[in-house]
Amino acid sequence: MATTADFRNGLVIEYNNDLCSIVQFQHVKPGKGPAFVRTKLKSLTTGRVLENTFTSGVKVNVARVERRPYQFLYRDELFYHFMHNETYEQITVQESMIDNQDLYKEGQYVEIVVHADTENILAVELPPFVVLEITYSEPGVRGDTATNTLKPAKVETGATVMVPLFVNVGDKIKVDTRDKSYSERVKA
């Protein structure tokens, strides 16, 4: 059992007979009335994001989850295949449980979130940033850098990322996996 004072991003709680991860929370103390906590919860079974307000001090059940390191091996028609980094055990995960499918490349390290009591896989999470190589992009026009304009570029996994005009084919870039945005160019 935990209270709203124990809330933090990534905490998994039981809410409405479902396991939800706290995406965002904010403690609010209005001038009149009791304090409360405004939250955004992501259901780990359906993937939906719900907004809920908890009265301050309410007790909630915390689910025991483990984050295990795995390496992405390959993908077939139905499943994604992963290998545990220490035990070399291989598991398969359904395509519907994978977010940002177009950012996965072979050999990529991920964390698989597992419910500790039932050993059910809840989510597969990429690291916050991945390094990918540009395979196709229109060339930038010289002198067109006065504004922060972006152009679409295709990366080695097939995803399309908006990048600045100075990024060319063959460059490696760092991509933010939370919103698929360009972060920076990586020096070789």
Return the structure tokens found at 101: 């499918």
pLDDT at 123 over 70: yes
Please report the pLDDT score of residue 167 as a whole number. 86
Q: What's the CATH code of the domain at 101?
A: 2.40.50.140
In a shared domain, residues 107 and 79? yes
Identify the residue whose tokens are 């935990």: 2
Q: How many structural domains does the chain have? A: 3
Could you give the CA distance from residue 74 to residue 38 in angstroms, rounded to a whole number?
Answer: 40
Over residues 107-122, mean pLDDT: 89
- Which pTM value belongs to this model? 0.76
DSSP string, 51-74: EEEEETT-EEEEP-EEEEEEEEEE
In a shared domain, residues 90 and 119? yes
pLDDT at 142 over 80: no
pLDDT tens per residue, range 153-187: 999 999 999 998 888 899 999 999 888 899 999 98
In a shared domain, residues 121 and 69? yes
Range of the domain at 180: 129-186
Tell me the longest C-alpha to C-alpha distance in the chain. Answer: 60
β-strands 59-62, 12-15 pairing: antiparallel
Name the more confident of 120 and 45.
Answer: 120
In a shared domain, residues 45 and 73? no
DSSP string, 118-169: T--EEEEE--SEEEEEEEEEPPPPTT--SS--EEEEEETTS-EEEEETT--T
Percent of the chain with pLDDT over 70: 96
Question: End of a domain among 62, 84, 108?
Answer: 62
